[in-house]
Amino acid sequence: MMDQKQLVKQVIDFNRAAFNNTFNAMAMLQDQSERVASTLLEQATWLPEEGKKAINEWAESFKKGREQFKKYVDESYAKVEEFFTNWQK
């Protein structure tokens, strides 16, 4: 029978891998959408520069938020791992 500590570690590792895979797929989709939007903005001669600037700033803000979210999740996984490592001792 598998040790409970080993099982907990495997569950954490599985969840981290699932999150990372999903996050990376979402990030790739968002980056692709940003490239398409950027191309459309370049061709939108009717849109004032202030509007283009606002949209670009929004996209940058969104990216920073995504990166911050990933950082928080990574830190949380590290804390959970540390907790269970200390619990094993």
Give domain status of residue 34, yes or no.
Answer: no
Give domain status of residue 88, yes or no.
Answer: yes
Tens of pLDDT, residues 21-77: 999 999 999 999 999 999 998 898 898 999 999 999 999 999 999 999 999 999 999
Residue with tokens 């598998």: 2
Domain boundaries, position 61: 48-89
DSSP state of 45: T
In angstroms and rounded to an integer, the radius of gyration of the C-alpha atoms of the chain is: 20
Q: What is the pTM for the complete model shown? A: 0.81
Q: Please give the structure tokens belonging to residue 54.
A: 């606002």
- Quick one: pLDDT at residue 89? 58
Rounded to the nearest angstrom, the gap between the alpha carbon of residue 2 and the centroid of all alpha carbons in its chain is 32
How many domains, the chain?
1
- At position 44, the amino acid (one-letter code) is A
